[in-house]
Amino acid sequence: MRKLITTLTLAGAAIIASAPLQAQSATVLTVDTDRILAECTACKSASSQIQSQITSARQRAQALEGQLRTEAQGLEAQVKALNGRQPDAALQQKITAFQTKQNQARTELGNRERQIESIQAHVQQQIGTRVVQIAEQVRARRQASVVMAKGSLMAVDPRADVTGDVLAALNQQLPSVSVTPLPQQQQSSTSGR
């Protein structure tokens, strides 16, 4: 029994002693994803196009707001002029038509917002998929164990940073992305999250 305990103790010590050697051979590489998203060619182009759509949506929202505000002020003046009496059928019809316009404006703006969100998700999906593929290629080429996002780490040796390699490969392999909404099947599964 003593021999078995001694053997297990020695075996345990050998395993513990070899653990730091195994840990030292595990290479971790890092990628600065914020830098990738800020500097990649496809990212800049897509960002510019999306920003243009956001600006257009804001302008449309302001135009609708202006139209509805003017119409609301006119209706409010007509209702105040009644001095508490019920509006006649014609005024009630105008109020109902105004409420319909408000609902249509909300629907239109909501649809635009969802479309822009879907476009952003599609762009991120395309870029993210390619970045992961490239990071895997770099990891294999460098015989590393893992590639991690730099932002999720507390301290990193700058020599482990392969952002430049990933960025160069991304710009070469994915010079542009489709700035369109997610395909319908993916869109419905994404919105359910």
Query: How does residue 189 score in pLDDT terms, banded at 50, 70 and 90?
Result: low
Q: Is pLDDT of 186 > 80?
A: no
The answer to whether residue 88 is domain-embedded is yes
The answer to whether residue 121 is domain-embedded is yes
What is the SS3 assignment for 29?
strand
Report how many domains make up the chain: 1
Q: Which region holds residue 143: left if phi is over 0, alpha if psi is between -120 and 50, else beta?
A: left
The answer to whether residue 6 is domain-embedded is no
- Which amino acid makes up residue 80? K
Q: What is the pLDDT of residues 20-57, one digit of tens each?
A: 444 455 799 999 999 999 999 999 999 999 999 999 99
Place of tokens 């635009």: 112
Write out the residue range of the structural domain in which residue 36 sits: 26-191
Instruction: Work out the angle at residue 72's Cα, subtended by the Cα atoms of residues 67 and 76, and round it to the nearest 5 degrees.
Output: 155
Sign of the CA dihedral running 72, 75, 81, 84: negative
The answer to whether residue 7 is domain-embedded is no
The answer to whether residue 109 is domain-embedded is yes
Give the largest CA-CA distance in the chain: 105
The answer to whether residue 13 is domain-embedded is no
